[in-house]
């Protein structure tokens, strides 16, 4: 019988870019109604994982089941229906630059429904109000700060009442106030709308402060997972280095290189 | 030597791979067209940006090309006492050749490069990915309307180019150099055939419109999502589209007027 407690089930996921292996047999379960964090060093494939969940990329092997449907094996029409229930917040916001804030948030409604403007307007304004930007509805996207753009993108992602939202590095490059606002919003929105949230991030304290469960991935594998408390108490040197942000440890400070002394002498000979 | 052969092999393979991707892209564009019957407003918006915004440069260029043709044509024809055939010469040159070709080159430079940059930047700023994740197919919503708009706009622009070019020839030939106005128009009217000349010119511009817009959209969609990638793609659009226009013009001219 299918375990309904997990919205997403990833089994034996393999994915490569050219020669480089990004995922080497990853297994993960994302529980319904919770905030799950996926953390790991830069370039470890966290964003790629979100694109695999959204079926924008095809894995080499393995299965990825979202709400009971294997996203890489269903027809395009079913995939597009499923995507209407999956919100995604891109790092840049991915707002349409030729539309203003109001039209950006209204965009999915205009594309997928035949609702009259008299219904679209209150729906858009309530979503904008929930992210604190009802007053910014007439601004063009170029007039928004990075944090505001992400909040507008969040309002847009919420407009179709999705079952889940994927956040791609939501805290990167934010000032402390914007960061605080986003942290608060992600948790509040998740609980108020009974969503499932996946946060991909390497901002450890902020992410773990709101996550119910977290996975740490590195070199294509899940190296640790558990509740934030379990991760903080982890005995693994690697996890300790990552969470505490130490410069040297199992992940070496130095990029692999020839012997230092020999290297210097070789330079001297030239 | 082996490195040279290896590089050559890679280049040839890359070329064919890209050609294949380009044709698959065209197929997806064509699949996106039926939706536009229901949402023609999307095409109207694009007609404004690729057509209306290219109109001024096309008209100005057309006027000058017509004036130059009038001046050069007069200088040659007057030696044979045939200056009254200037109208025919200007009109045939424009509707058969210069209208579609020069309007096509201007279209590639103005609208084609803008399309590539726009689509390339939409890719770089994840707008295309964002649309996919909102369950909106970028081919249907973004690319197909632009494709159809280019396809419609260029023949119209080429016709306007030819029309204003004829006016340029008239200004120089009749108003400036004093050719008989009646002869200018009546000879043109008698010698220019609608199907043979005007329609063939329109067919050329339809083909050019299709090829330019296809190249421009594909280059944008296939661009590396960086500022350098978009800049290279824009350059490639102008170069490839211009060469395609000139090459295809020869092929089409040979097919249409060869016999």
Give the C-alpha separation, A29 to A162, whole Å: 19
> How far is CA A250 from each of CA A46, A239, A240, A242, A243, rounded to the nearest angstrom?
20, 9, 10, 10, 13
pLDDT per position as a tens digit, A207-263: 999 999 999 988 888 888 999 998 888 888 888 888 888 877 777 778 888 888 888
Q: Cite the DSSP H helix spans in chain A.
A: 46-53, 76-83, 101-112, 117-130, 146-158, 176-192, 204-210, 228-232, 237-244, 260-269
Chain A: residue whose CA lies nearest to B45: A98
Any idea what DSSP says for residue A221?
A: E
Interchain CB distance below 8 Å, A80 and B130 = no
Helices (H) and strands (E) in chain A, counts: 10, 10
To the nearest whole angstrom, how far is the Cα of B127 from the nearest Cα of chain A?
A: 5
* Secondary structure of residue A197 in the 3-state scheme: strand
Of the candidates B168, B199, B201, B200, the one whose C-alpha atom is nearest the C-alpha of residue B184 is: B168
Interchain CB distance below 8 Å, B135 and A96 = no
Give the C-alpha separation, A97 to A142, whole Å: 7
Interchain CB distance below 8 Å, B126 and A88 = no
Lowest mean pLDDT among A17-21, A36-40, B155-159, B240-244: A17-21
* Predicted pLDDT of residue A170: 87
Confidence of residue B84 (pLDDT cuts 50, 70, 90): confident
Q: Cite the DSSP H helix spans in B78-193.
A: 86-92, 99-107, 113-124, 127-133, 138, 144-170, 181-191
Give the C-alpha separation, A102 to A124, whole Å: 7
A233: CB partners within 8 A, 6+ apart: none
Interchain CB distance below 8 Å, B132 and A54 = yes
Confidence of residue A270 (pLDDT cuts 50, 70, 90): low
Mean pLDDT of B51-66: 95
Asked whether the predicted pLDDT for residue A265 surpasses 90, the reply is: no
Give the C-alpha separation, A227 to A210, whole Å: 11
Interchain CB distance below 8 Å, A108 and B137 = no
Confidence of residue B259 (pLDDT cuts 50, 70, 90): low
Which residues from B are below 8 Å from A when comparing CB atoms? 125-127, 129-130, 132-137, 141
pLDDT per position as a tens digit, B118-148: 999 999 999 999 999 999 999 999 999 999 9
Asked whether the predicted pLDDT for residue A269 surpasses 70, the reply is: no
pLDDT per position as a tens digit, A133-185: 999 999 999 999 888 898 899 899 989 889 999 999 888 878 888 888 889 88
* Secondary structure of residue B15 in the 3-state scheme: helix
Residue with tokens 């990329």: A57
Mean pLDDT of B152-181: 94
Q: Cite the DSSP H helix spans in B47-112.
A: 53-77, 86-92, 99-107
ipTM here: 0.83
Asked whether the predicted pLDDT for residue A2 surpasses 60, the reply is: no
Mean pLDDT of B61-85: 92
> How many Cβ atoms are within 10 Å of B86's Cβ, its own excluded?
29
Chain A: residue whose CA lies nearest to B128: A94
Give the C-alpha separation, B214 to A231, whole Å: 52
Residues in chain A within 8 Å Cβ distance of B146: none
* Predicted pLDDT of residue A1: 39
What is the sign, positive or negative, of the torsion defined by CA atoms of B22, B28, B34, B39?
A: negative
Interchain CB distance below 8 Å, A83 and B132 = yes
Mean pLDDT of B20-38: 91
Query: Per the structure block, which two tokens stand in for A243?
Result: 């969470």
Lowest mean pLDDT among A16-25, A46-55, A234-243, B220-229: A234-243
């Amino acid at each position: 019988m299918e375990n309904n407690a997990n919205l997403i089930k990833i089994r034996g996921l393999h994915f490569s870019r050219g020669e480089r292996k990004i995922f080497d047999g990853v297994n993960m379960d994302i529980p319904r109604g919770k905030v799950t964090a996926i953390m790991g060093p830069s370039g470890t494939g966290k964003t790629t994982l979100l694109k695999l969940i959204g079926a924008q990329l095809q894995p080499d092997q393995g299965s990825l089941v979202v709400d009971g449907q294997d996203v890489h094996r269903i027809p395009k029409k079913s995939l597009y229906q499923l995507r209407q229930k999956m919100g995604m917040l891109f790092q840049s916001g991915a707002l349409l630059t030729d539309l203003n804030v109001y039209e950006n948030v209204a965009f999915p409604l205009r594309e997928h429904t035949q609702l009259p403007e008299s219904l679209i307007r209150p729906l858009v304004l309530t979503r904008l109000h929930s992210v604190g930007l009802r007053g910014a509805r007439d601004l063009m996207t170029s007039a928004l700060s990075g944090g505001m753009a992400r909040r507008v993108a969040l309002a847009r992602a919420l407009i179709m009442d999705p079952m889940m939202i994927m956040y791609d590095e939501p805290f990167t490059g934010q000032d402390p106030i914007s960061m605080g606002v986003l942290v608060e919003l992600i948790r509040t929105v998740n609980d108020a709308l009974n969503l499932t949230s996946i946060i991909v991030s390497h901002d450890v304290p902020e992410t773990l402060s709101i996550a119910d469960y977290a996975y740490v991935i590195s070199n294509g594998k899940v190296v640790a997972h558990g509740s934030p408390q379990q991760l903080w108490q982890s005995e693994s040197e690697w996890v300790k280095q990552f969470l505490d942000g130490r410069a040297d440890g199992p992940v070496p400070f130095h990029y692999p290189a020839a012997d230092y002394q020999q290297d210097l002498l070789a330079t001297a000979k030239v | 030597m082996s490195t040279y052969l290896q590089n050559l092999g890679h280049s040839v393979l890359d070329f064919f791979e890209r050609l294949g991707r380009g044709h698959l892209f065209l197929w997806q564009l064509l699949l996106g067209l039926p939706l536009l019957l229901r949402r023609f407003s999307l095409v109207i918006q694009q007609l404004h940006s690729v057509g209306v915004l290219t109109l001024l440069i096309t008209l100005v260029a057309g006027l000058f090309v017509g004036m130059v043709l009038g001046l050069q044509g007069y200088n040659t024809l007057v030696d044979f006492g045939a200056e009254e055939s200037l109208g025919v010469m200007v009109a045939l040159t424009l509707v058969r050749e210069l209208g579609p070709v020069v309007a096509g080159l201007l279209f590639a430079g103005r609208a084609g490069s803008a399309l590539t940059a726009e689509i390339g930047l939409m890719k770089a700023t994840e707008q295309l990915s964002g649309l996919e994740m909102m369950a909106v197919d970028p081919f249907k919503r973004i690319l197909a309307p632009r494709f159809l708009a280019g396809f419609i706009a260029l023949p119209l622009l080429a016709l306007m180019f030819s029309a204003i070019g004829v006016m340029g020839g008239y200004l120089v030939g009749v108003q400036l150099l004093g050719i008989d106005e009646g002869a200018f128009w009546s000879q043109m009217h008698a010698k220019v055939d609608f199907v043979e000349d005007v329609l063939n010119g329109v067919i050329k511009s339809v083909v050019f419109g299709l090829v330019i817009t296809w190249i421009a959209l594909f280059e944008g969609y296939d661009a590396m999502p960086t500022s350098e990638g978009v800049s290279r793609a824009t350059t490639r659009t102008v170069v490839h589209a211009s060469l395609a226009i000139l090459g295809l013009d020869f092929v089409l001219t040979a097919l249409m007027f060869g016999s």
